Each structure stands twice: as C-alpha cells, then as structure tokens.
Amino acid sequence: MYASIIDSIGNTPLVKIQTINPVPGVTILAKLEYMNPGGSIKDRAALYMISQAEADGELTPEKTVIEATSGNTGIGLAMICAVKGYKLALAMAESASEERKKILKARGARIILTPRHLGSDGAIEEAYRLAREYPDKYFLTDQYNNEANWKAHYHTTGPEIMAQTNGQIDAVVATVGTSGTLMGLARYFKDQNHRARVICAEPYLGHGIQGLKNMKESYTPEIFDKTLLGEIVHIDDETAFETARQLAAKEGLFVGMSSGAAMAVALEQAKRLQNGVIVVIFPDSGERYLSTELFSVKKNIHLTVYNSLGGKKEPLNPQGDKEFGVYTCGPTVHRRLDITHFRRHAFTDLLIRYLEYQNVKVRHIVNITDYDDKTIEGAR
C-alpha cells in the first residue's frame, strides 16, 4: 500500500518488442513510462523538482508553482501539487492536445495559452516573464534549466534499467524535449563506467511531434550537453507516427508520438548492432493524442515527395478536377546543359506522366533564361 499517489512513481516495467523487431539477434526492450500514475515519464522530474525546491526553501505554501509545458510535465506537476496543496499555473502552446488541456484543468491547474506559431519557446518566455515580474507570487520550476530534472533519471530511471537488465545493455534510445531523460541516463551510465550508449532521437526543425524539441530552435536547455550522448539521430514526423501506429497494431502498445520516434530510431540501431540489447523509452500513451492526426484514419496516398527544406516526406494530392501546376527551373540559353538539368527534367517528366495516368489535368511551365548575367547587369 502507498501512503499517497506520489509514492507509486517509478519502477515502470520493461517489455520485449516481438513482432516489429527486424533483427533476431537484438533484444529491444521498451520501458513503459506511461505506467507512472500521472501517465508519463514526466512524473519523475516533476516530483524531483518540487521536492528539491521544498528542501532548498524556494517553494513555500503561499507561492504558485509555474512552468512552461507541452502537457506531460504539467500533468505530473498538477498531480503532485494537488497532493501537496500548491496552486499551479501552466504556460503552453495552443497546439497542445485537447486531452492534455482537459486533464490539467480537471486537476486544478490554471492554463495560460501562448500563440501556436511560437511553439514551446513562446510558452517558456511567458512563464519566465511572469516569474520575473512577480517573484513573490510564483515559483518557477524551470524544467529546461533545473538540474533536478536530469537528476530524477540519474537516481531512478537509470538504476531501474540497470537492475531490470542485469547490466546487459548496449544502448538506450530516448527522445529530446527538455533533455532531462537523456542527460540523467547519460551521466548515470558514464559514472557507472558502463558501455551503454545513450542515443538521442531528435525531430527536424518545424516538426509536429508534441513534447519534443529540435536543439537548433531558439532556446536550448542549459542542462543539455551533447558531448554526453553516443549519437543524435534525426527522425521525421510521419516515420514517428507510423511507428506508433505499428506498435499499437502489432505489439498492443498504445503509445504516443514521441514513443514512435524513439522506437523508429531503436529499429535502425538494431539493424546496425545486429547483436545485443537496446532499451527504448516510451514517455507516454496514445490516449493523449486521440484528437490529433496520430491515430486518424490514414488516407490512401499514391505519391509522396520529400521536402528538403522541411526535412520530411509530404503527400502529393491533386484536389478534385482542378488543374495541377508544375513549375520547372529550366536552363540558361547561353550555357551548356549539365546533369542537374537532366535529372530535374527526368523527374518532372515522370511526375507529369504519373499524374496524367491518374487523369489529372497538368499545366507544365518551364522558364528559359535568354539573357546572360553580364547582359542583365550591364542593363541596370
């Protein structure tokens, strides 16, 4: 029996991935962090940050706890603040899922929504502003810079993994948001002089994976130290989403977006490793993403193109009977053709033939420059 819900945080199970593991010689073990009472791995950091602040005398009964969160840290804080009797205010982007917002409100948190286009950075700035302007009213847990964040995983998650695997582990894969999980695990295995490599699954810039962060975004957590990591692997949205769907359909594990991202990277690592043990961290469940496109009915997409600017695959779907425009940057008259032009036009020709085969009306435009650069410059 537990004295309170807080005491049940941690000691989450490891489950062997059976069906979607492509390499028989590699054992992939998923650590189900959504089995925490608040439903995510963030329960660990939330408890450590509050407990440390109490011990240091920074958090007193009259203060309101404030944090910038995409949802999971907020849910963990809401649970802990409810038990301990603290008020809680949470800044989050408008893009956060409806499930998370409802859970937070039900647990008594006040939600401060920031503009969608500002992402997590907008929420961070708002939380900092309020804490800075009203220091006597708010205590900022500051998960992006608070060492208690990574220490939670150094003292709990890391030792649990070590004990559950009897030390037989070659790699740990986790996603990056605040970087607390990664930093805690990396420091733990380093201090244990263990061979395990901690691998970071990082989304591309402009991604849509809730809770994760690309470290080239404007605000990088102070607790993040990439030199501690074995490797950083980038993952696109659709691969993460599709892997989460596969986990639900073939493994019976109903997990969230970030779990799909971590699993996708773990599968690639397994192909490289060939023999060994990989532990992959599943931060939360899929129940918090039912209002998103993660588990929506997938459309039958016949053609997908790679957007090199966004770093992700996108469906190419002509709309109804509308004319489909294709623009190709053509050659310059005064120069010889090179392989770049041939490759570009070969791809365009293939694309147009495919669209016409699908009964799509295509209008193709090619520009041809008939003045050289020197002539244009001289005419100015």
**3-state secondary structure labels for all residues of the chain:** CCCCHHHHCCCCCEEECCCCCCCCCEEEEEEEHHHCCCCECHHHHHHHHHHHHHHHCCCCCCCEEEEECCCHHHHHHHHHHHHHCCEEEEEEECCCCHHHHHHHHHCCCEEEEECHHHHHHHHHHHHHHHHHHCCCCEEECCCCCCHHHHHHHHHHHHHHHHHHCCCCCCEEEEECCCCHHHHHHHHHHHHCCCCCEEEEEEECCCCCCCCCCCCCCCCCCCCCCHHHCCEEEEECHHHHHHHHHHHHHHHCCCECHHHHHHHHHHHHHHHHHCCEEEEEEECEEHHHHCCCCCCCCCCCCCCEEEECCCCEEEECCCCCCCCEEEEEEEEECCCCCCHHHHHHHHHHHHHHHHHHHCCCCEEEEEEEECCCHHHHHHCC
More confident residue, 289 or 228: 228
Are residue 195 and residue 115 in the same domain, yes or no? no
Boundary of a domain, candidates 77, 105, 140: 140
Q: Token match 């192909």: residue?
A: 271
Asked if residue 66 and residue 106 are part of one domain, the reply reads yes
Looking at residue 366, what is its pLDDT?
Answer: 83
Question: Do residues 81 and 211 both lie within one domain?
Answer: no
Residues 160 and 285 in one domain: yes
High-pLDDT (> 90) share of the chain, %: 63
For residue 159, pLDDT beyond 80? yes
Residue 171 has pLDDT above 70, yes or no: yes
Highest-confidence segment of 117-131, 257-271, 305-319, 322-336: 257-271
In this structure, is residue 149 part of a structural domain?
no
Tens digit of pLDDT for each residue in 96-115?
Answer: 878 778 889 998 999 999 99
Query: What pLDDT, on a 0 to 100 scale, did the predictor assign at position 302?
Result: 66
CB 90 within 8 A of CB 77: yes
Residue 350 in domain = yes
Q: Is 295 part of a structural domain of the chain?
A: no
Does residue 340 share a domain with residue 200? no
Does some domain include residue 183? yes
Pick the more confident residue, 296 or 247: 247
Backbone angles phi, psi at 14, to 5 degrees: -105, 135
> Is 80 exceeded by the pLDDT of residue 297?
no
Same domain, 169 and 279: yes
Asked if the structure places residue 79 within a domain, the reply is yes
pLDDT at 301 over 60: no
Question: Domain check: are 332 and 261 in the same one?
Answer: no
CATH number at residue 179: 3.40.50.1100
Answer yes or no: is 310 within a domain: no
Residue 297 lies in a domain: no
Q: What is the mean pLDDT of the chain?
A: 89
- Which residues does the annotation mark as catalytic? 42, 258
Q: Which pLDDT does position 74 carry in this prediction?
A: 92
**pLDDT given at position 211:** 78
Tokens of 230: 């074995």
Confidence band, pLDDT 50/70/90 cuts, at residue 29? very high
Do residues 83 and 224 both lie within one domain? no
Question: Would you state the pLDDT for residue 70?
Answer: 66
Summarised one tens digit per residue, pLDDT across range 69-96 is: 867 899 999 999 999 999 999 999 888 8
pLDDT at 278 > cutoff 90: yes
Q: What's the domain range around 122?
A: 42-140
- The domain tally of the chain equals 3
**Quick check: 289 pLDDT over 70?**
yes
In-domain check, residue 275: yes
Residues 219, 74 share a domain? no
Per-residue pLDDT, 358: 73
